[in-house]
Amino acid sequence: MEDQYASHIFRLPYVYEVHPDGGSFQMNEEIKSLYPTAYRCSKKCLTELFHYLDRNLEIDEEIQLFSCWTDGVERFSEAAKLEPELTLEIAELLQAEEFEWRRQQYIVVTK
């Protein structure tokens, strides 16, 4: 994504957009029982993302994740989150049975 509006949030040069339905990914027992299709979709998306990151990140490298729910400038109308809400190791994510990546949540993943 090459966009002047993204530059105030992201520190790293490459940005890849992910478009979850409803603005978040949820992988937990409640979603699994209430919305099995949504659970399977979230689990597949997250699992694929985590495996991709594991294959492509070098040791001590990090990546920023930020989930947006709208397109265009509107997604940046709120103040930028300069500090991540979570910092996680990719190994933790590969083992996770439950995980939630909420709308407009800023996460840093390291290897």
Q: What is the pLDDT of residues 5-37, one digit of tens each?
A: 445 566 776 666 666 555 677 888 998 999 999
Across the beta sheet with 62-66, the strand order is: 62-66, 106-110, 86-89
* pLDDT on residue 66: 78
Closest Cα partner for 66 from 44, 86, 48, 51? 86
The larger pLDDT score, comparing residue 67 to residue 107, is at: 107
| Residue 97: pLDDT band with limits 50, 70, 90 | confident
pTM recorded for the entire structure: 0.71
Indicate the domain borders of the chain.
Answer: 21-110
Query: pLDDT above 70 covers what percent of the chain?
Result: 67
pLDDT (mean) for 29-54:
89
What is d(CA 31, CA 41) in angstroms, rounded to the nearest whole number?
Answer: 11
Residue found by looking up tokens 């299709």 in the block: 37
